Each structure stands twice: as C-alpha cells, then as structure tokens.
C-alpha cells in the first residue's frame, strides 16, 4: 500500500470535516454537533468513527477544533488491529468571507500526532473487498527473471474523475510528526514504521493537483528521505490512475542496518506517472560499500530506471548500471512481495561484459590481495529472498563465467601451476614461464554462503584442468576434484633419466583419450594454503 494512498485517506477525512464546518456555521457546541460529525464520517468513509470532542468558533475568525478522532474500516473485523486513522488533535482556520465564496476556502489545517495504520493486505485502492462499484485494479506479478513492469492503467477520459472545480479548497495542510505504520499479517511480527517528520500539502480539493513536500525516515536502510512534487487529481473509480510527479533525495542511508552489507548511501532522482505505474529515474553513490564477509570497501555508483506500483509497492527495475573499481554491472528485474510473506524478494538478471575478476573477489573474499587477476565476463540469475539472515547466507546465484588471461597472485599457487605446465610439456620445471592461465571458465551456484562449481576448467600451456567442487565464502575451505590432462606422458613429465625410465611402465595407466596423460587430481586446504594432490583412489577405480 502506497504512502501516498494513505495520505489521500487523510485528505478525504479533512475534506469531510470542512463540509461539516459549513453545516455548523451557526456556532453550535452541543453534543448533537459531535454526533453529526461522527455519523457523516461513518457514512462517507464506510467506517466506525470515534470523536472525543468537536467545536466551532465563528468570531473573530472561524476556528474548528477536534480531539480524539479514530477511524476504523468496517471491512477490517479484527479488533486487535489498530484504527486506520488516529488524530490526537486537529485545527481548521478560515475567515467568515471564505465560507461564503465558491469554492469554500480554508486557509490552514493542522493535524497533531497523525497516525495512519495500514491493515494487513493494504487498503485495496481504498475500496472494500465487496465493493460492487467496479473492478479493482491489481498489478500483475512479474516472473522473477523477467522484471516486466505492470501495464499502463486504463484511460478514463471525461468520466466522473475528470478534473472539475472543487467545492472546497484548503490552502495549506500541515501534519508534522506523523507516523505511517504498515501492519504485518502475522501477529508475532513487528509493523514497519515510517516516521514522517514534516508534511505540508497545498491546494487540497476534489479535482485538484496538490503540491506536497515531505520529510520522512526510511526504516530499511535507515535514512532520511526528502520529497516534493504534486499529487492528484484523485481518481475515485481507479485510484491507480491518479497522477503524481516530483523529485526525491535520500541522504545518509545506513546500509549497515541490512545484515551482511555496509556503507553510507546517497541517492537523488525524479518520479512521474500514475499511482499504479510510477516511473522513477535516479542515481546512487556509496563511497564505502562493502560486504560484511570481506569488509573491503569500494566506491559503488549506480544509475537506474524503474517502474513502481504505488498501490502495492512492487518495483520493476527496467535498467540498472552499477560501477565499482574497473567493473560495470548491468541488471534488470523486480522487487516484489508475496502474499502472506513479510518482506520482498529481489530477482534480477545480472551481466558483466568486460569486468575484472579481482574486483569481484575484493568484494566477496577476505584478504589484502585477490586470489586471481584477469578479465571476466559473467551472467547470473540473482535472487535475494526476504528474511533476517545475513545477505550472503540467503543470497542465491545461478550463472556462468569466463576469465581470460588470468594470473594467480599467490606465489605458492603460481609456482605449483608453473611447474605443472613445464612438466605437462616434458620440460624442466625449474624453468619458470610466468604461469599465465590462458582461460578459466565454469558454471556456479551460490547457496547458504557456499559456492559450488561444475564444468570448471582452465588451461595452461601443455595442460588442461577440469574440476568440480565447492568453496566456502566464510570458511575459505576448498574442496575440488577433477582431472589434469597433459600433452606429455608421466615418464616425460618426470624429466627422463632413471626416474623417467621406470615410470614408463605406468604410462599406459594414465594414457587415455589421446592425451599424453590423464591424471585424477584433488585440491583441498584453504584459499591461502591450498593442497594439490593425486587422487590415488580414482586412479585404480577408473581401471
């Protein structure tokens, strides 16, 4: 449910109160006047209404005061759910002459301690589930990998919602210190709260385009949002087609409030469209973005375009470009809710066309120096479900990558691979050649903080290695098995001489599929201390 829809409900309440002010122009302070206000609000809002006090003073200017206003939707039958609207005190000011004009004009409305409680399931476009006046507009759910935005709402030219002169206008409405609370379906879950530090709206009225300015605290990630723009005219028959537009600034958002990531984010942008289809364009800057698993910050800048369904909060990312270090990431997808589940699921299609493997490793792996450097291309499906777990524990990836001209940065690994390359060609392993890996590719999956690889292959001069296995992002444990295919035979790899002579007897054991030798290998240990070895069991099992 959109915050803007909730604010419109408040506007409807204020408008009804102003109508009653005109009816009460005789200055009545009696109990019948309070009852009239309650009855009128109940009829217009299809709600149960409580009002502790209501009064009107006509001299020297018209002043309306009320206290203890509570409005409960009749369709919300659970008595444990808080009222939709709670206002501790409200005050309305205008002049006598303003009441005699057409439209009636009220100079100033103040709401104190306004609380808007969105019930589980939202307000369904401010219409009851059994309302026969027309079909509700529901935003379609997009497939996780498609990220398709909802279709544009139906046009409504010339209908009852077209712009007409409003019988009542409010020059200014102020509701500072307000609170928007979204109540979850599960009783054991805490509601999500948006503290609205300041809210000002101008030219409130039926059929009016209403300028607004608001400052509110976003709970996750925690930060301050300042926004201004226009809202309306309100479309009664199809709330989703209500136009709005403006700009926003989201400053000093603390990403540490999301488990697993960190940094301070700043974002600015513009929005325009209709409540059911809001187009948003913006940028973000996070100079110290990091994953908790590595704690190595990088400067992350993004530009994005999205379509937001303001009636349910679903966001469809039509294009995101993120840049850090020497790598650019492209993504599209959706951030959507699931009925009965708290939070939202992020599902993206992510691609890197010409990045650097060391940049990715800096984000995901501990250590001052990355395991490997080189050009990388990558494509993966990215899914981040809701929940309280650390981001890296619940993040799911399913993709493929290709690294060109890679070099390992660990001297021990370089030395072992260089010696392997020399032996694979029947050369002296003491003569190092720089150990350039001509290619590294594979498919991968990330689940529960563990990366599993299939079809992992890399080539050295004279040798090709094929592996499958896993790597623990937190434990840094390596567990791989595979084969080493060499151009040279085992005896040739031994360097000839007496040792090579005796090893000729076992050359047939490893000589398979046209290779000089096909050797089963295993790699264990950790990132910093890998252990390479012959998988002896597989040698004889294969025979």
Does the pTM surpass 0.75? The reply is no
Count Cβ atoms within 10 A of the Cβ of residue 106 and give its class: 0-12 exposed, 13-18 middle, 19 or more buried: buried
Phi, psi of 266 (to 5 degrees): -125, 140
Distance CA 71, CA 11 (A): 13
pLDDT value, residue 22: 56
> Averaged over 354-368, what is the pLDDT?
87
Does the structure show a pLDDT above 90 at 387? Answer: no
Could you tell me which residues come within 8 angstroms of residue 188 by beta carbon, excluding any fewer than 6 positions away? none
Among candidate residues 374, 379, 382, the one with its CA nearest the CA of residue 147? 382
Longest distance between any two alpha carbons in the chain, whole Å:
119
Q: How many domains does the chain have?
A: 2
Angle among Cα 222, 228, 232 to the nearest 5 degrees reads 120
Return the residue matching tokens 């999301």.
Answer: 258
Other Cβ atoms less than 10 A from the Cβ of 262: the count is: 19
> CA 156 → CA 160, 236, 330, distances in Å?
9, 11, 37
Tokens 């490893």 belong to residue: 510
In angstroms, what is the C-alpha Rg of the chain? 33
User: Does residue 379 lie within any of the structural domains?
Assistant: no
Give the tens place of pLDDT for each residue, 294-323.
889 999 999 999 998 766 678 899 999 999
Give pLDDT, residue 26.
46
- Whether the link from the prior residue into 135 is cis, omega within 30° of 0, is no
Question: End of a domain among 180, 213, 241?
Answer: 241
CB 360 within 8 A of CB 376: yes
- For residue range 39-65, what is the model confidence (pLDDT) as tens digits? 877 776 678 889 998 888 877 778 888
**Angstrom distance (rounded) from CA 365 to CA 367:** 7
Cis peptide leading into residue 233 (ω within 30°): yes
Written as six digits, the tokens of 200 are 């000002």
Q: Is residue 339 part of a domain?
A: no
The residues near 183 (Cβ < 8 Å, ≥ 6 apart) are 81, 82, 117, 118, 119, 120, 191
- Cα–Cα nearest to 531, from 412, 444, 438: 412
Domain range for residue 453? 410-541
Flag whether 43 is in a domain.
yes
Task: Report how far residue 374's alpha carbon sits from residue 437's, in angstroms, rounded to the nearest whole number.
Answer: 9
Check if the beta carbon of residue 320 is closer than 8 Å to that of residue 304.
yes
Beta strands at 108-118 and 178-182: parallel, antiparallel or unpaired: parallel
Q: Which residue has the higher pLDDT, 445 or 20?
A: 445
> What's residue 95's pLDDT?
77
Q: Which residue has the higher pLDDT, 526 or 138?
A: 526
Cα 130 to chain centroid, rounded: 33
Residue 180 lies in a domain: yes
pLDDT in tens, 75-105: 777 777 888 889 999 998 887 776 667 777 7
Domain end, chosen from 195, 218, 241, is at 241
3-class DSSP assignment, residue 357: helix
Mean pLDDT of the 344-360 span: 92
Residue 74 lies in a domain: yes
Of residues 313 and 450, more confidence is placed in 450
pLDDT tens per residue, range 398-423: 999 999 878 877 777 777 777 777 87
Q: State residue 11 phi and psi, 5-degree precision.
A: -60, -40
The better pLDDT of the pair 38, 163 is held by 38
Residues 103-142: pLDDT tens digits? Answer: 777 788 899 999 988 777 655 544 333 333 333 333 333 3
Q: Is residue 207 part of a domain?
A: yes
Cα separation, 383 vs 398, whole angstroms: 9
Helix (H) or strand (E) holding 47: strand 47-57
- Say how far apart CA 370 and CA 223 lie, in whole Å: 33
pLDDT over 60 (residue 371): yes
Which secondary-structure segment (H or E) carries 490? helix 490-493
Domain boundary, last residue among 226, 241, 256: 241
Phi, psi for residue 486 in degrees, rounded to 5: -115, 150
3-state DSSP assignment of residue 331: strand
Beta-carbon contacts of 19 under 8 Å, excluding residues fewer than 6 positions away, are: 40, 168
User: What is residue 303's three-state secondary structure?
Assistant: strand
Would you say the C-alpha torsion 83, 223, 393, 398 has a positive or negative sign?
positive
| Average pLDDT, integer, range 432-436 | 60
Q: Cα(466)–Cα(52) distance, rounded to whole angstroms? A: 77
354: in domain: no
- Does residue 476 form part of some domain? yes
pLDDT tier, 542 (very low <50, low <70, confident <90, very high otherwise):
low
216 pLDDT above the threshold of 90: no
Instruction: Write down the pLDDT at residue 310.
Output: 67
Close Cβ partners of 505 (under 8 Å, ≥ 6 residues apart): none
CB 324 within 8 A of CB 299: yes
Closest CA to 294 of 527, 467, 530: 527
Q: What is the reported pLDDT for 27?
A: 47
pLDDT tens figures, 161-207: 444 556 667 889 899 999 888 777 666 667 777 788 999 989 877 67
Strand partners, 85: 71, 116
Torsions phi, psi for 385 (to 5 deg): -75, 165
Average pLDDT, the chain: 79
pLDDT given for residue 40 in this prediction: 73
Task: Find out whether 394 and 357 touch, Cβ atoms under 8 Å.
Answer: no
Q: What distance lies between CA 412 and its chain's CA centroid?
A: 41
pLDDT at 156: 42
Tell me the C-alpha distance between 104 and 22, whole Å: 9
């Amino acid at each position: 449910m959109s915050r803007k829809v909730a604010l419109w409900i408040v506007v409807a309440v204020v408008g009804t109160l102003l109508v009653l002010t005109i009816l009460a122009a005789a200055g009545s302070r009696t109990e019948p006047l309070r009852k009239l206000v309650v009855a009128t609000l109940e009829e217009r809002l299809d709600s149960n209404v409580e009002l502790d006090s209501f009064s009107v003073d006509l001299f020297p200017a018209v002043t309306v005061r009320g206290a203890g206003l509570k409005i409960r939707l009749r369709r919300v039958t659970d008595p444990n759910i808080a009222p939709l609207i709670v206002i501790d005190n409200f005050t309305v000011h205008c002049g006598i002459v303003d009441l005699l004009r057409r439209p009636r004009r009220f100079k100033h409305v103040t709401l104190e301690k306004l609380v808007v409680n969105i019930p589980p399931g939202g307000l369904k476009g401010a219409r009851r589930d059994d309302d026969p006046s027309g079909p509700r507009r529901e935003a379609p759910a997009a497939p996780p990998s498609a990220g398709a935005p909802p279709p544009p709402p139906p046009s409504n030219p010339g209908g009852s919602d077209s712009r007409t002169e409003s019988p009542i206008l409010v020059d200014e409405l102020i509701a500072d210190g307000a609170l928007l609370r979204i109540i979850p379906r599960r009783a054991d879950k805490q509601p999500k709260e948006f503290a609205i530090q300041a809210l000002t709206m101008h030219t409130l009225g039926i059929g009016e385009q209403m300028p607004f300015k608001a400052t509110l605290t976003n709970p996750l990630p925690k930060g301050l949002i300042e926004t201004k723009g226009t809202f309306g005219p309100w479309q009664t028959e199809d709330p989703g087609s209500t136009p709005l537009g403006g700009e926003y600034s989201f400053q000093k958002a603390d990403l540490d409030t999301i488990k697993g990531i960190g940094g301070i984010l700043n974002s600015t942008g513009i929005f325009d469209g209709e409540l059911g289809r809001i187009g948003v364009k913006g940028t973000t800057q996070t100079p110290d973005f990091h994953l908790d698993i590595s704690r190595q910050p990088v400067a992350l800048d993004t530009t994005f375009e999205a379509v937001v369904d303001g009636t349910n909060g679903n966001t469809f990312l039509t294009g995101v470009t993120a840049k850090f270090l020497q790598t650019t990431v492209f993504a599209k997808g959706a951030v959507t809710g699931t009925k009965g589940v708290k939070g939202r699921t992020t599902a993206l299609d992510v691609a890197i066309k010409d990045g650097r493997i060391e940049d990715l490793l800096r984000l995901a792996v501990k250590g001052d120096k990355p395991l490997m450097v080189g050009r990388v291309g990558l494509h993966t499906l990215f899914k981040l479900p809701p929940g309280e777990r650390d981001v890296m524990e619940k993040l799911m990836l399913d993709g493929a990558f290709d690294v060109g001209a890679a070099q390992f940065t660990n001297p021990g690994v370089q030395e072992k691979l260089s010696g392997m390359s020399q032996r694979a060609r029947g050369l002296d392993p003491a003569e190092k050649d720089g150990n350039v890996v001509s290619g590294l590719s594979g498919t991968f999956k990330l689940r529960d903080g563990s990366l599993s690889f299939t079809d992992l292959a890399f080539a050295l001069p004279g040798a090709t290695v094929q592996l499958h296995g896993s790597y623990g992002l937190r434990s840094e444990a390596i567990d791989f098995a595979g084969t080493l295919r060499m151009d040279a035979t085992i005896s040739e790899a031994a360097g000839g001489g007496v040792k090579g002579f005796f090893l000729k007897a076992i050359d047939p054991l490893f000589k398979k599929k046209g290779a000089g030798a096909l050797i089963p290998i295993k790699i264990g240990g950790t990132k910093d201390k890998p252990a390479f070895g012959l998988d002896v069991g597989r040698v004889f099992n294969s025979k």
